[in-house]
Structure 1
Amino acid sequence: MKTIFSTIALFSVVLFATSCTEDMEYKDSKVSSVNQLYEPTDGKEVVLQSSASASLFFEWESAKAEDSGAPLYEVVFDKEGGDFSKPIYKVLSDNGGSLSYATISHKTLNKVGAAAGLNSGETGTLVWTVMASRGLNSVMAKESKKLTITRLVGFEEIPAQLYLTGSATEGGMDASKAVACASPEKDKFEVFTKLEGGKTYKLVDRAAEGAKVFYINGNKIMEGEGETTVEKTGVYRIEMDFSIASVTVREVSKMEFYFCPSGAATFELPYVGNGVFCGQDKIEFKQEGWGRDQRYKFLMTYADGSIQYWGTKNTTDSNPGAATPEDPYFYIMETPDNQWDQKWKLNNEFDGAADGHNPGAITKISVIFNVENYTHKVELAN
């Protein structure tokens, strides 16, 4: 009897396993094509924006799967006249491809334009459609539409850091000594540095070999192997905006200490290297009926004769007291052209007038542009 039960049990297990194998065999489910594309409308024209939130909405009629499951969708792009047999770009729909719409960022569309052969800032027409799939089965939509885009003038990938290197720079050809740029705003870089006339320099994203290379061509930033020169040796302010690939190069002829009570610059701060202007002189506070006036700021003059005032970034109407040179009190920024606004006050120890608090005192001032927050330092030189 025990043998009979064992035989029946074994037969049942084999039968169950066989049945499960047949039921669980994987079968690809057929899927219908998308019949209609809703958005964007055929022939829509879009000027791409660099904002991270800028996007274009794509929507289409849902496909149907034989097993009632959810199809996977991809928006497929091709060059104008293409048949999508070799698409230039694919983007999954929202929620990992499960929804019948896609929110595609302008930065992604900029990459699509690049894949289509459009240059930076160039306008061109693409075609797009939707591919629906279920398992290994996929089918293209029954229609396609045209989309005209104007690519971003700037770069898809903005470097996190930027440096100047080359024979014209302060660091020379040694990549490890490349001159670092500050980044005062998102996507923007700036540097105050000395360049040798007739020699070359380029921009790199790191101070090491194998870095990504950029170069300046006129007032534009270009990516790739290239070099730039300046006509004459001098101190230059280079401002770069990678969001629009633009650059401004201006020669700085001088930086000066501007004494507000006199309404004039009283001594120069020569450029000493590494983004620093430094000078020293005797400062004589001005005697007024209410006390001694010690207000100051800085005046930069460009080679073309234009000027730029630099004053406090953090509005203040007091002297620094015991504030250290790293204190935000000393941060500087560009300010309007006027005598009194956005100024600092010197401590009494820097009053070197004969009738001042520290007769004969010589004050040394450094304006520092090689840090994220531009700043300055005031100290006694004697």
Structure 2
Amino acid sequence: MKKIFYSLLAFIVIVLVVSGCKKDKTLNHTNVSAVSTLFAPENNKFVKIASGASGSVSFEWAQARAEDNGLVLYEVAFDKEGGDFSKPLYSVPSDGNGLYNKLSLTFSDLNKIATAAGVKPQESGKVIWTVMSSKGINVQKSTEIRTVEIQRPAGFTDIPTELYLTGTATEGGDDLTKAIKFKLTAPGKFEAFTSLKAGTYHFADRNTGTPSTYSYDGTKLTEAGNTTVTGDAKVQRIEVDFNVASFKTTEVVSVGLWFAADNKIWFDLPYKAAGVWEIDGASIVFHQESWGRDERYKFRFTFKDAAGATSTQYYGSTNSDNSRPDTGTAPSFYYMVPVNNSQYDYCFKFTGAADNKTADIKVDFSGNVANYTHSVKVN
């Protein structure tokens, strides 16, 4: 019995020794050298990223050596000036999933790195970079560190998908839950029709919690802050483009129903709130033609820019010609899009029941509708 016990004990010892040797041998094979030299870009390289520009910067360095003469993995790390890369701002494997001793980094990624370093749009700032070499463990930091200066473009790196307007100058006041929603017109571009009064306002990427906020500083769109409004309350068209950090307000002087046969505005629709104009009990009388009764109409917006110059824009149908609507007409019939100033093209038509009646007419350019639209309710 003792012989069996000692034999078993000896076997276990042998297994442990062999396993330990294998483990030590495997760990030895993970040793790599640190990268000794960084080749490109040169130290203190200045990179200017233009708005909308596509491109990249090539980072290159000398190869590291592996103790087993095998492959080495590389990762490029970026940090703030004075940082030690223990918690880098940004790190990414080199080209070839970490196998190549070079990295092509896009302008978009460089913009993100500058943003993480606290560099604001249209400003420049410095970050440091180096290379880490390893076999997945036993990471070695390069003995060389270089600096790159990045000038950010006018636009933003993280562009919101929703945008709201809030503050004492807005219709919803400074209650975030009542903020005015913008309409997304294209990626990074927003538009809102609303009134502004004396006070302050800013933009938010959501209407709950603690959103990211933005404002216009007098020259460009920027992070945080507030924009001040003075003077009387006015209805405004506000356009914001995060791609180029642009901001524009245009006063909406009036919204009128333009009747094609009379070639004139029949009446203006009073502004209500939240991008809605509405008139109740408007008189509707079709125009008598030799062929019958003409019922065509569209809408004309009158704008005034910051310099005081006025302009007009017609909003009409997506179709150049239409039939009279009825109870089965699709909602898309009433969608409003910018059209030319021709007298009869791209007009809507009143329902036949509206002739010699009154109607409640509503134009909805709020951020809550998928498409700008209007409605006609015959009384």
Q: Is the TM value for this pair above 0.5?
A: yes
Contact 2:51 2:154 in 1 (8 A): no
Q: Which residue of the partner structure matches residue 306 of structure 1?
A: 311
Query: What SS class does the counterpart of residue 91 from structure 1 fall into?
Result: strand
User: How does 1:172-191 map onto structure 2 within 5 Å?
Assistant: 172-191=173-192
For residues 184 and 98 of structure 1, the distance between their equivalents in structure 2, rounded to whole angstroms, comes to 42
For residues 96 and 340 of structure 2, the distance between their equivalents in structure 1, rounded to whole angstroms, comes to 50
Cα displacement (A) at 1:147: 5.0
Matched, 1:322 2:326: yes
Closer, same or farther: CA 123–212 of 1 in aligned 2, 3 Å? closer
Query: What SS class does the counterpart of residue 158 from structure 1 fall into?
Result: coil
Cα displacement (A) at 1:54: 5.8
| TM-score under structure 1 length normalisation | 0.82
Q: Which residue of the partner structure matches residue 120 of structure 2?
A: 119
Cα displacement (A) at 1:44: 7.0
For residues 214 and 60 of structure 1, the distance between their equivalents in structure 2, rounded to whole angstroms, comes to 40
Q: Which moved more, 1:15-24 or 1:316-325?
A: 316-325
User: How does 1:169-248 map onto structure 2 within 5 Å?
Assistant: 169-196=170-197, 198-248=198-248
Q: State the one-letter code of the partner of 1:192.
A: F
Cα displacement (A) at 1:75: 2.0
Cα displacement (A) at 1:153: 1.0
Contact 1:48 1:149 in 2 (8 A): no
For residues 83 and 68 of structure 2, the distance between their equivalents in structure 1, rounded to whole angstroms, comes to 27
For residues 341 and 233 of structure 2, the distance between their equivalents in structure 1, rounded to whole angstroms, comes to 28
Contact 2:287 2:293 in 1 (8 A): yes
User: How does 1:99-178 map onto structure 2 within 5 Å?
Assistant: 99-115=100-116, 118-123=119-124, 128-134=129-135, 135-140=137-142, 144=146, 147=148, 149-178=150-179
Contact 1:217 1:228 in 2 (8 A): no
For residues 171 and 147 of structure 1, the distance between their equivalents in structure 2, rounded to whole angstroms, comes to 45
Q: State the one-letter code of the partner of 1:318.
A: N
Q: State the one-letter code of the partner of 1:327.
A: P
Q: Deviations over 1:45-104 (max 9, x none)?
A: 4424458x765454555433223454332223467xx68755964421256644444343
Q: Which moved more, 1:225-234 or 1:95-104?
A: 95-104
Contact 1:216 1:227 in 2 (8 A): yes
User: How does 1:246-257 map onto structure 2 within 5 Å?
Assistant: 246-257=246-257
Percent same amino acid at aligned positions? 33
Q: Deviations over 1:317-357 (max 9, x none)?
A: 2235336787222211223343333322222122x2xxxxx
Q: Which residue of the partner structure matches residue 376 of structure 1?
A: 374
Contact 1:202 1:228 in 2 (8 A): no
Cα displacement (A) at 1:231: 2.5
RMSD across aligned positions (CA): 3.2
For residues 194 and 330 of structure 1, the distance between their equivalents in structure 2, rounded to whole angstroms, comes to 24
For residues 131 and 264 of structure 2, the distance between their equivalents in structure 1, rounded to whole angstroms, comes to 68
Q: State the one-letter code of the partner of 1:329.
A: F
Q: State the one-letter code of the partner of 2:254.
A: K
Matched, 1:261 2:261: yes
Q: Which residue of the partner structure matches residue 363 of structure 1?
A: 359
For residues 60 and 298 of structure 2, the distance between their equivalents in structure 1, rounded to whole angstroms, comes to 57
Contact 1:35 1:143 in 2 (8 A): no
For residues 91 and 4 of structure 1, the distance between their equivalents in structure 2, rounded to whole angstroms, comes to 59
Q: Which residue of the partner structure matches residue 65 of structure 1?
A: 66
Query: What SS class does the counterpart of residue 136 from structure 1 fall into?
Result: coil
Q: State the one-letter code of the partner of 2:163.
A: L
Contact 2:192 2:239 in 1 (8 A): yes
Q: State the one-letter code of the partner of 1:361.
A: K
Q: Which moved more, 1:180-189 or 1:130-139?
A: 130-139
Query: What SS class does the counterpart of residue 207 from structure 1 fall into?
Result: coil
Q: State the one-letter code of the partner of 1:345.
A: K
Contact 1:323 1:329 in 2 (8 A): no
Cα displacement (A) at 1:368: 0.4
Closer, same or farther: CA 30–278 of 1 in aligned 2, 3 Å? same
Query: What SS class does the counterpart of residue 155 from structure 2 fall into?
Result: coil
Contact 1:132 1:141 in 2 (8 A): no
Q: Which moved more, 1:38-47 or 1:369-378?
A: 38-47
Contact 2:316 2:339 in 1 (8 A): yes
Counting matched residue pairs gives 366
Query: What SS class does the counterpart of residue 239 from structure 1 fall into?
Result: strand
Closer, same or farther: CA 36–372 of 1 in aligned 2, 3 Å? farther
For residues 337 and 33 of structure 1, the distance between their equivalents in structure 2, rounded to whole angstroms, comes to 70
Cα displacement (A) at 1:109: 0.8
Cα displacement (A) at 1:163: 1.5
**Unmatched 5+ residue regions in structure 1?**
353-359
| TM-score under structure 2 length normalisation | 0.83
For residues 324 and 164 of structure 1, the distance between their equivalents in structure 2, rounded to whole angstroms, comes to 37
